[in-house]
Structure 1
Amino acid sequence: MQNKLEIGIIGLGKFGLPLAQTLTKLGHGVVALDRSESRVRQVQDSLSHVYTAEATDIGVLQQLRFQDLDAVVVSVGGSMESSILVTLNLQEVGAKKIYVKAVSNEHRKVLTRLGVDHVIQPENDVATQLAHRLSNPGMLDLLPLGGGVLLQELVVDQWAGKTLLDLKLSNESGVMVVAIRYAGQREYTFVPPADRQLATGDIMVVIGKVDDVNKLKP
């Protein structure tokens, strides 16, 4: 399995709750907040660190150490104003990575101007992906595919000094390297040379079954 992450989830609605539950099942730590006391009570059996709190209060975020988490996801429902205020609070406390669910294109534009790391529009994103799949049957996706196939980036550490020939990933791990962005370069090299030594910080793009990819320790 990959390194355990500590993720904050703000808002436990139709998007935030399954996200929090799935991260928990994958073995990651989740700190979840929701303003609804009844909703928090309903999910206490599936989430070990869940609190009834108002994330628009910056003191709450500081008290729960959201600045120390690996990433925070904001999914506060239909309120654009609350979402923006929570995002500003997270930026002020120094949250490392911030993902925010946008409720409209206007909301997305504001979040982008605020410098949010990742803006998510689930319905729009799914519709776009479906359109591409219908137009290009069999295309690969950047997300987990039906059947448990994953295209993922890996940062080289322990594999530094080795070549793809040395690693024999296709034969021994069932994983294929489709591209590498070598340290210091801006562009990916597709179908990378098998005899070039890897260096610390190289980014490899691999494809394989989820379990096989997660076993790798690059």
Structure 2
Amino acid sequence: MKKKLQIGVIGLGKFGLRFAEQLMVFGHEVLGLDSNPLHIKHAQTKLTQVFLADAREKEVLEQTGMGELEYVMVSVGNSISASAMISMFLKELNVPKVWVKARDSDHRKLLEKVGADRVVIPEYLAAKQLADGLTNPGFVEYLPFDNDMIIQELTINRSADQTLRQLDLTNRKKIQVIAVQPTGGGKPTYIPNPDKKLEAGDILVVIGHRNQFESFQL
């Protein structure tokens, strides 16, 4: 089974708390941090651990253990300076993956400059999804996966020079390949050719049951 992660969420407003709750549903441990007592009250029974403190102080990030985590999501409302400062401190503490919620494209550019690994603008994502639904009849907004179905990336190593047909993941592992990202970062191929040889470093984007990925390597 996919390993349980310890993930930090800084900012437990509507978006941050919903994000944290979903991580808990997926079986991860979530440490929450917020300076608003009301947010902490709402979150304290829903997350693994919560802290009432100001994340704009680097010492707070160290003392609460946020700086020791592999993943931290920063969701501090519309405060551009706060999100940038917190992101910068987290990178100075060598957090490998810092994700940040931004309010617009200018905010995103600033966050990328201070080292954020991924910046999300929820309104942009929602707007695109709604526009797709209106413009394209039959557009599927989402598939109602249960919590044990996941989309996963698998990197080709020892299976290099084989084809998808030879790997036969659908029958052997009940895993369906939906895209191939070539080594070197080229454009991904959707509905890939089953007879094209795979190279070491290629990334398969697959969908399957969580248990099928236990100790699974290509």
Q: List aligned pairs for 1:67-146, cutoff 5 A.
A: 67-138=67-138, 145-146=142-143
CA RMSD of aligned residues (A): 2.8
Q: Where does residue 62 of structure 2 map in the other structure?
A: 62
Q: 1:74 Cα deviation (Å)?
A: 0.4
Q: Distance in 1 between matches of 2:198 and 2:125?
A: 37
Unmatched segments (≥5 aa) in structure 1: none
Q: Provide the identity percentage.
A: 39
Q: 1:150 to 1:135 in 2, by over 3 A?
A: farther
Note closer, same or farther for the CA distance 1:192–1:3 as it changes in structure 2 (3 Å cut): farther
What CA distance in whole angstroms lies between the structure 2 residues aligned with 1:189 and 1:78?
37
Contact (CA 8 Å) 2:51, 2:64: kept in 1 or not? Answer: no
Q: Write out per-residue CA displacement over residues 3-49 of structure 1, whole angstroms, 9 at most, x where no aligned residue.
A: 22221100000100011111012111211101112321232111121
Moved more, 98-107 or 17-26: 98-107
- Does the 8 A contact of 2:183 with 2:199 survive in 1? no
Q: CA deviation at 1:54?
A: 0.8
Q: Which amino acid is 1:146 matched to? A: L
Alignment partner, residue 144 of structure 2: 147
- The alpha-carbon deviation at position 168 of structure 1 amounts to 2.5
The SS at the match of 1:77 is coil
Q: Distance in 2 between matches of 1:85 and 1:152?
A: 32
CA distance in 1, matches of 2:112, 2:101: 12
Distance in structure 1 (CA, Å) of the matches to 2:162 and 2:127? 41
Any stretches of 5+ residues in structure 2 without a counterpart? none
8 Å contact 1:152–1:205 — kept in the other structure? yes
Amino acid of the residue matched to residue 37 of structure 1? Answer: P
TM-score by length of 1: 0.81
Going from structure 1 to structure 2, the CA distance change for 1:60 and 1:213 (only over 3 Å counts) comes to: same
Change (3 A) 1:53 1:156: farther
Moved over 6 A (4+): none
